[in-house]
Structure 1
Amino acid sequence: MDGLNFGSLGSSVVGFLKNIDDNTKHIGVLDQFEKQTSLPRSYAVVSGVGVYLVLVFLNFGGIGQLLSNISGFAIPAYYSLKALKTKTTSDDTKLLTYWVVFAFLNVIEFWTKALLYWIPSYFLFKTIFLLYCSLPQYNGSEVIYVNIIQPISENYIFPAVAATQELAEKVQEKKEE
């Protein structure tokens, strides 16, 4: 039987925590955490993320919805602000795709809010989904756009806009006669 290789799992976790330590060296609050507790800064980051996700899961007083929307906004907003300062357009396209997916999800959620509130852990799943869509290493928004939003827009929205423009041109021609 091929079981789990816990040795490689342990080294993966250690590597993940080391990566967090290396990528958060410039954050002063985590420096203080390390000095005061003698624990690696990655412990604070992982604990903070854990508490955040527990609060989303518990959704006391609707806080899950707020925290879910913050996670869906904060990371992409940061990358969008950085993208505004770059000369390339590849990051712009990815971010525009994300914002279209985010807006689409919020519109759908608005119309089904009464139902979604009763789905257990909805906001936790939404938070994880938004992180999947927004984090550059996953770029899940492109998958959603290509498989759901683009077919809808090409089959329904663009033809409707074209028909509306054609009708407007005919009205304008009749008006000018």
Structure 2
Amino acid sequence: MHIHVFVKFPLTVQATSGIQVLQLFEAQTGLPRSYAVIVGVAVYFVIIFLNLAGVGQLLSNIAGFVVPCYYSLLALETTTTSDDTALLTYWVVFAFLNVIEFWSRAILYWIPFYFLFKTIFLLYIGVPAFGGAQLVYVNLIKPFSRAYIVKNKSLSKTVDEVAEGVSSAVEL
């Protein structure tokens, strides 16, 4: 049994036709623009893999922000809500991951190639066609959310009161 997955990526021939660097590459080498994109992606991942001067963390966060941001901007222009829900789910998972990462940074420092794995994971959950964010949300965050936030009305009330206090203090 074979399962085929078709993913629509934004870097099609038409999408790259207006990028000057890729046009210059194609004109000077006679090679397709896609080769330059592939080499650029490979170099990007090698830099993350090596994590020289801590730049792996920055590049990992850029990948986790730029790709979903692109899809979010596209989703804002559509009239359907399914893509909005998928991307909102991504941003919840992304925020959850960042909070966990912040509190466990000392431990994560010792995991080899952590930022490479994180980048691959962020791309998996960030591209809506993969459905990774939905999977993570349903299996990890939703049970936690239901147990501690949705069912706990006093917590919601406390958060609302604190937010109201902060906004009224800002207005003074």
Structure 2 unaligned residues grouped into runs of 5+: 1-10, 159-172
Contact 2:64 2:119 survives alignment (8 Å): yes
User: How far apart in 1 are the matches of 2:157 and 2:99?
Assistant: 28
Query: What is the deviation of 1:96?
Result: 0.3
Aligned to 2:43: 51
Post-superposition Cα deviations, 1:72-129, rounded to whole Å, max 9, x if no partner, equal: 0001111112222222211110110000000000000000001101110000000000
Query: What is the deviation of 1:26?
Result: 3.7
Aligned partner letter, 2:142:
Q
Aligned partner letter, 1:54:
V
Q: State yes or no: 1:76 paired with 2:68.
A: yes
Distance 1:57 1:134, change over 3 A: same
Say which one has the larger Rg: 1
Contact 2:149 2:156 survives alignment (8 Å): no
Of 91, 108, 112, the residue aligned with 1:116 is 108
After superposition, residues 25-36 of structure 1 pair within 5 angstroms as: 25-36=17-28
Post-superposition Cα deviations, 1:132-151, rounded to whole Å, max 9, x if no partner, equal: 00112212101000111011
The TM-score with structure 2 as length reference comes to 0.79
Aligned to 1:173: none
Q: State yes or no: 1:163 paired with 2:154.
A: yes
Structure 1 unaligned residues grouped into runs of 5+: 1-18, 168-177
Contact 1:68 1:124 survives alignment (8 Å): yes
- Kindly report structure 1 stretches of 4+ aligned residues shifted beyond 4 Å: 19-23, 164-167
Q: What is the RMSD of the two structures over their aligned residues, measured on CA atoms? A: 1.9
Which of structures 1 and 2 has the larger relative contact order (alpha carbons within 8 angstroms, sep 6+)?
2
Post-superposition Cα deviations, 1:24-79, rounded to whole Å, max 9, x if no partner, equal: 33433211110011111111011000000011111111100000000000011111
Query: What is the deviation of 1:157?
Result: 1.8
Aligned partner letter, 1:33:
F
User: How far apart in 1 are the matches of 2:21 and 2:43?
Assistant: 17
Q: State yes or no: 1:38 paired with 2:30.
A: yes
Q: State yes or no: 1:67 paired with 2:59.
A: yes
Distance 1:147 1:35, change over 3 A: same
Aligned partner letter, 1:48:
G
Contact 1:21 1:40 survives alignment (8 Å): no
| Identity over aligned pairs, percent | 61
Distance 1:31 1:166, change over 3 A: closer
User: How far apart in 1 are the matches of 2:81 and 2:43?
Assistant: 36
Aligned to 1:127: 119
